[in-house]
Every structure is written in structure tokens, then in C-alpha cells.
Amino acid sequence: MKQSQHPQNIYSQAAVDAFFKLNPQSAVQNPVMLLVWLGTILALILTIFPNLFGEIPSQNPRLFNGLVTFILLVTIYAGNLGEAMAKAKGQAQGRKLRSLKSQTIAKKLAVDGTFTEVSSTTLQKGDTVYVVAGDIIPADGEVILGVGSVDESVITGESAPILKESGSEVASSVTAGTRIISDELIICVTANPGQGFIDRMIALMEGEESRKVPNEMALQALLAVIALIFLFVVVTLPAFAFYLQLPISAAILVALLVSLMPTTIASLLNTISIAGIDRIAKSNVIANSRDAEICTDVNTLVIDKTGTITLGNRLAEKFIPINDHSESEVAAVAIAASVFDDTPEGKSIIRLADELGAKIDFDPYASEAIYFSTSTRMSGTNLPNGSQVRKGALAAIQKFIGSPSQKFSPEIDVACERIALVGGTPLVVCLNQEIYGVIHLKDIVKPGIRDRFYQLQRLGIYTIMVTGDNKTTAGVISREAGIDDFIAEATPEDKITVIRQQQAGGKLVAMTGEGNNDALALAQANIGLAMNTGTQAAKSAANMVDLDSDPTKLIDIVAIGKQLLMTRGVLTTFSITNDIAKYFAILPILFTTLNLGIFNIMQLSSTNSAVLSVLIYNAIAIFAFIPLALRGIKFRPIGANQVFPFHLLIYGLGGAIIPFVAIKLIDMAVTAIGLA
């Protein structure tokens, strides 16, 4: 993989790209900048034919019109430069990922077990590939055989390898471009060429999926209306000037229009959005600015427990015998019930039973596998001798045993309660109609997650944990993690029901998850945030993927979304107050013969000098705000009623005062040089 492009090279390339964007076609979707372009073309024509609209008394009209044309081009270039700089970093990262894809060779398996080496770009969904230590995984897929460690640092930036194995819902998903560093895997491809995870990353980083959000479109419409108002004002000025016998050249009218329009914010709108996508990518989330801004209005977060709040690798901790059975008897029934269970959970039960000396004393090939389902909530084996062994939730086992008159020992409730009280998950094991004991599955709440949920609460986001665990376990985990509410013993359909109920109440709902059973809920939510450790189904259903697999990453997305809104807000405030200040700077000197000199408080040298000074200041202001547009306003988790007055004071007052000082200084320099 290539090294990152040096920042100096990135900015040099941005400067060149901004120059090549100097064409009217690039401004068609931006009404304000389109008017600037039309004015530039008109100023250029007037430079060549200064008397096109009649002779206007002036010392050197061709020089003045040429200077206006040049400054307008610099103004357009300034806006292009900001956008080019914002795109440059993403494009550099996109090129790195694209080169990684093009260099990948895949070992495609045939039906007879042999393989041929092919380009990864030829792989189709459903193909099977073989990878060994040192190979780059050629396509997104699911591990169907084997166990191996995978280095995902190219995607997540995290150097620690991730164990991938078949049969695990959240540890079998692999991503193209990552590298296997131990053992070997057989992978079933789950994405066609151009539709994989890295393809989505490239599209976002290179701006291919950049879409305007409602707030941005509304702001652009507002700016267009303001521009049309000023256009109407400027168009009517010649009539007033003719009536008052005041000569005003067409070049001055063009300069006046550009100076009074909100060009600062209009030229930097795309820069702000593209830079927002870059900040999202830096937070290790695959999303776009539209998703980030929607997140700013999220009211409710529905979250899965296993793998999101907890680490997700539930392992057998101990066997608890009941009904006068021994631990070895529980182990024997547990291993029989888990012989077909390929999940890490099932494998850990077999390992623990094996440590206690339990063996499989029947022919697995003559047995029937009973796989886990969300409806039965249990799994097991039908033995050759007709016996049935099962393991699952207490309620599921009670239903399996059946008879209402069946007496259940209080021991079972006590054992399950004790496991649940320490945040574990109890699995009951039975042979036919008799319960032998309980398996204690232990999971761990992710470190630091309580503080993260507290931050969500400060942002006004209500959190609901939905889990298939019993109420006691769910209650313990929710309290430990600092979650507002929980729903226990839930099915995938319950998750969708909860989301729909919240949406029916007018709430904007975000959902985080990683398993196949979360896919429908992720699709139903207004914002679906899938964990990178999750399945391909979950990642495909979600509109955002967190590469760090942090369920509270929503905090960062909300912060970035608010940054986008605030950055647009402060630049709009500055731009509008700035235009008002320029209005009072330039208009009085245009009508000096009407004894309006008293309003020429800046004492500008001449009409031409005033026009050039305002235009130069206008261009400088855009250049000056490029860094702010790129980095965004610093987000602070305080109320809007506190943020708005502060920004209004700083940027509103600044926009009203700075032009008077800057334009006067530029006017003095322009006069001293002799340009006007």
C-alpha cells in the first residue's frame, strides 16, 4: 500500500484543481456564484470594448474594467480553492484504497477443491475464495470454513488483529483489502464488483456520493433570493442615475452587485459539506454529510446489547447442576446439545465440558441437528436413540418440556437469577423432559461506555436497549451501561415495533446493531449505524458503518452534524452583516454629487478606488474563511439559546465592523499604487 500523500503536495494539487474549475459550468448549481460568473464575463467584454454601452467619462476605462475582471476571477478562484482543498484529502485516501483494490489477486475455488488465481475485480457474489496467512482478502464476504486472524488496520486504523471464524454471526464477516496474518480461511463472496465496502469508502472520500441536505438547499435558496433582490436593485440603478444625471458604468454596476451579494458563504457552501464528510471519515465512520445532519435531530437511540454494549463474545463460564445432578452430568448433556453449534458460544461450551471430562458418546452423523432460531430461542440435538437434548432460555425450555402440570424446581429460578444478577446469560440444558442444570455465559460491558451514554443523555438522546436476555440480566447491563430503558426477551420483530412506536410519536430514531437479526430494524430506523464487526446484512441495511464498532459513535456524528450547521450559520451571519457594511461603504461615494458626502464616513478616495477596494476585500474574506470552513466551528454541548447569541456577537458584529477598517486600508493602498 502506498504512503499517504504529503499535505504540501495535496495543497499544491488543490491549487491546480481550483484553477481548472474556473469555468461557468462549475457554478451552474450555485445561483450566487453563477451571477458572479456572468458579471465576470460582462466585465471581460467591457475590458475589450469599454464603450459598448456608451462612453462613460473615466481616465482609463480599459484598465479599470480589466482590474474588475481579474478580481472577480480571483473571487471565483477563492471559492474553488476551498472546495478543492476539502476534496484533496479524501481523493488522496481514495487513491490509496483504489490502488489496494487493483493489486489484489484472489484464489478462486472450484467445485473439485482446486483453485485458480484471478483478479479480485472478476469475483462475483456467491464465489468462494481461499486465503492463507499473508494474503489480502480480495472481496467482502463471510467465512464459511476455518479460523484465522485478520489485520483490519487499513480500514479501522486499529493494529490489533481480529479473530475471524465460521459460524459466528459477528466474527465471520471480512472486508476486501484487509490482510489475513495467521492460519487460513475459506470465504464466500457477498458483494459484486464495485459494490463492496471499500467501494463505498472510495465513493464517499472522493465525493461521488456527496448530496445536498435539506438545510443546505434551504440556505442556498435563501442566498438566491437575497442575490435576486440585489440584482433587482442594481438593475434599477441606471434608471435613477440617468434621471439624476449621474454617470455609472456597467463595470461599476457589476462590481456593486458582486460586492453586495453574500458571496462569502455562497462560495464556501460545498467546502463546508465536503470537509464535514472528511471529518466523519476521520472518526472512522462511513457516512455522508446528509446522515450527519439528520443525526443532529435524533431523539431516540435503540441499541442491541450483545456486541454493541457488551463485547459480544459470550463464553461458557461454568455449569450449575440442579435437581440432584452432578456437574459432570450437566457437562455431558451440554456437550451433546452443542455438537452442531459452530458459534463461539457453542464452541466454548464444548471446551468447558471437555475440560470436565465429558465426551460425545453417540454418532453425530446419525443424529439430527436442531439449530437456534429467534422464534424457539433454543438449539440442540435429536440423538440416535430417540432422546432429545436442548439448551436455551428458561422460558423456551419450559415450553419445550410442555406439560402445565410439570413441576419445576425452585433451584432453576435461583440459579438463573444469580447468573442474571452479575450480568451473565443463563442457558438451561435438558434431556427429554428433565432439566439437568444451567450454563453461565459471561459477557463484559465495553470499557468507558457508561460515560459515552451520559454524553448522549446530555445531548437529549433517549436510549433504549433491546435484548433477547431475561429481564434481570437486561436490567443489570442497562444500569451498568447507564441506559435509560430496556426491553428484555425481545425478538427481531420487537426491535422493529419499538422503532415504529417511537417514530409514530414524532421521534427521529437511530438504531445500532451488528447481527443478521438487526438488519430489518437498521433499515426501519431513520438512521441505521452498523458495527464494522457485524454481518454483511447489517452493514448493507444501515446507512452508516462504524469502523470502531462503538455503539455510542452517534455522539461524534451528532457533533460533526452540529458543526456543519453552526459553520454554515456563522458564515451566513458574517456574510450578511458584511454585505450591509459594504453597502454603506460603497453607495455614498457613488452619489457624491447629491451631497451625500456626509455618509461617506470612510472618506474613500474615489468611486473607482472604492469599487476596487470593496472587490479586493470581498476576495480576501473568502480566502480568510477557507480554514474555518475546512475545520468547522468547535462543537460545545450547550444549548442553542447560548450558542446563537455568542456567534451573533462574534461573527455578526465582526462582519459589520471589519469591512470598514479593511476597505479603508485597501483604498489607501490602491490609491498609493495608482490603480484608481
Cα-Cα-Cα-Cα torsion 92, 97, 98, 102, nearest 10 degrees, comes to 140
CA distance 571 to 676: 31
Closest C-alpha to 473, from 413, 526, 425, 515? 425
- H helices of 446-553, where? 449-458, 471-481, 492-504, 519-524, 536-541
Q: Is the CB of residue 322 less than 8 Å from the CB of residue 435?
A: yes
CA 529 to CA 544: how far, in whole Å?
Answer: 5
Residue showing cell 444451567: 438
Q: Give every CB contact of residue 242 below 8 A, 6+ residues apart in sequence.
A: none
DSSP, res 209: T
Q: Which of 135, 304, 518, 579 is catalytic?
A: 304
Residue 88 CA to residue 91 CA, distance in Å, equals: 5
Q: Helix (H, G, I), strand (E, B), or coil: what is residue 515? A: coil
Catalytic status, residue 342? no
All residues at 6 or more sequence positions from 569 whose CB lies less than 8 Å from its CB, including other chains: 647
Find the length of the chain: 676
Q: Which of 266, 212, 269 is nearest to 34 (CA)?
A: 266
The residue among 87, 81, 31, 38 whose CA lies nearest residue 217 is 31
DSSP 570-601: HHHHHHHHHHHHHHHHHHHHHTGGGT-GGG-T
Query: Which letter does DSSP use for residue 467 in this model?
Result: -
Contacts 24+ apart (CB under 8 A), 373-380: 374/468, 374/491, 374/492, 374/517, 375/491, 377/468, 379/337, 379/338, 379/340, 379/341, 379/346, 380/336, 380/337
Residue with cell 471437555: 354
Angle between helices 607-631 and 263-282 (to 10 degrees): 20
Using CB atoms within 10 Å of the CB of residue 154, give its burial: 0 to 12 exposed, 13 to 18 middle, 19+ buried: middle
Which distant-in-sequence residues (6+ apart) come within 8 Å of 428 by Cβ? 391, 392, 393, 394, 397, 412, 416, 435, 437, 438, 439
Helix 263-282 to helix 554-590 angle (10° resolution) is 160
Distances in Å between the Cα of 592 and the Cα atoms of 65, 117, 241, 243, 601 are 21, 81, 12, 15, 12
- What is the spatial distance between Cα 459 and Cα 153, in angstroms, rounded to a whole number? 31
- In degrees and rounded to multiples of 5, residue 530 shows phi and psi of -95, 150
Catalytic residues: 304
